[in-house]
Amino acid sequence: MEFRVVISDPGTGRAYQRVVEGANANRLIGKKIGDVVSGTVVDLPPDYELQITGGTDKDGFPMRPDLPGSGRKRILLSGSTGFRPKEKGLRRRKTVRGKVISRDTMQINMKVVKQGKVPLEEIFKHSEG
């Protein structure tokens, strides 16, 4: 099993992608949106801390932080994750996924909460080249 992890750096405004598989991918299963994990889960130095901010499943349905569990549900939305209304008061029934990471999750979005000594730009420059 593998996850595509998108790591956002609020300090620089840049985002980096990394594929996580094996034991590190298993460590992410059961985590929820809002949980803080160590950087070692995505092969970063241990002084980094990352917060899970969202994700999508294998079919592209977004995860919502206010929906418990890991299953899909069709809920009535008036805005926020999963639906952007074009006019005020518009509501729509949409399919979204719960806030818990499961085997059906494909992409996980994270942001840096605690910076490490080495900037992310240098870490990802070395891994790409």
Let me know if residue 81 belongs to a domain. Answer: no
Q: Which range, of 12-16, 78-82, 125-129, averages the lowest pLDDT?
A: 125-129
Let me know if residue 9 belongs to a domain. Answer: yes
CA pair distance 71, 106, nearest whole angstrom = 14
Nearest to 11 by CA among 129, 114, 125, 117: 114
- Give the pLDDT confidence of 30-62 residue by residue, as tens digits: 999 999 999 999 989 899 999 999 999 999 999
Return the pLDDT at 129: 47
Let me know if residue 19 belongs to a domain. Answer: yes
Q: Is the model more confident about 122 or about 5?
A: 5
Return the pLDDT at 128: 59
How many domains would you assign to the chain?
Answer: 1
In this prediction, residues 15-31 reach a mean pLDDT of 93
Return the pLDDT at 79: 85
Return the pLDDT at 127: 62
Return the pLDDT at 126: 67
**pLDDT above 90 for 122:** no
Reported pTM: 0.89
- The H-assigned helical ranges of the chain are 23-28, 120-128
Return the pLDDT at 88: 93
Q: Domain range spanning residue 36?
A: 2-65+98-128
Let me know if residue 93 belongs to a domain. Answer: no
Let me know if residue 70 belongs to a domain. Answer: no
- Give the pLDDT confidence of 79-116 residue by residue, as tens digits: 888 899 999 999 999 999 999 999 999 999 999 999 98
Phi, psi of 58 (to 5 degrees): -65, -20
Distance of CA 8 to the CA centre of its chain: 10
Residue 53, domain CATH: 2.40.240
